[in-house]
Amino acid sequence: MPLRDTLARVDADLAAGRVPVARQRLRGLVSSFPHDLMLRQRLAEVYRLYGEPAEAGRWMYLDQDRDAAETSAFEARYLTAPQRMRALAWQGPESLAQTAFAREQLAAVRAACSEAMGRPVDWDTVPSGWKEDGSGTSLADFLAGAGCLVAVLAFLAIWVNGLVALFD
């Protein structure tokens, strides 16, 4: 569906109170047109309707007229440069950005991510292990999962041993 038609549907959805549907349409458009700052602004407006300043700040991060409180909320939710890089959902080089401010923001996030990762990164190879919600996989996550697995296996061993003893 052409961009203009989808935006008309977004407007109709919002007018009818179908905010979740409008949000999904806009998320799809941002995914298809990641360089369009107007689409990011529209998505931020929808997140404001939800009362989600971190997500509004996420989608306004490349806009010079962004709200400082929303930007702070975004940065608090996505604490590290790799998390922010992933959350911004940019594709391609910074030169594709429509404004100098957006290019500077993207370059700063990419540089910080490269420093954090200890190697150069680019927007087409966002570091793996960083989820969209800002949480990252880590050694602590792995150990917690391994600990749960050991506990389940120990329980099963005790249970099976109890069954064997019952039938002896």
58-74 burial code (b ≥16 CB/10 A, e <16): bbbbbbeebbeebbebb
Percent of the chain with pLDDT strictly greater than 90: 64
pLDDT over 80 at 98, yes or no: yes
Rounded to the nearest integer, the mean pLDDT of the chain is: 84
83 burial via Cβ count (<10 Å: 0-12, 13-18, 19+): buried
SS3 string, 113-146, reads HHHHHCCCCCHHHCCCCECCCCCECCHHHHHHHH
For 79, the token pair is 């604490």
Helices 81-88 and 68-77 meet at what angle, rounded to 10?
110
Dump pLDDT digits (tens) for 54-68: 999 999 999 999 999
Give residue 127's pLDDT. 63
Dump pLDDT digits (tens) for 101-140: 999 999 999 999 999 989 999 888 776 554 434 344 444 4
- Residues facing 136 on adjacent strands: 130
Q: Does domain 3-130 have CATH number 2.40.128?
A: no
Domains of the chain, residue spans: 3-130, 138-168
Helix then strand then coil, in percent of the chain rounded to 5, is: 70, 0, 25
Instruction: Name the DSSP letter for residue 91.
Output: -
If you average pLDDT over residues 28-42, what whole number do you get? 93
If you average pLDDT over residues 8-27, what whole number do you get? 93
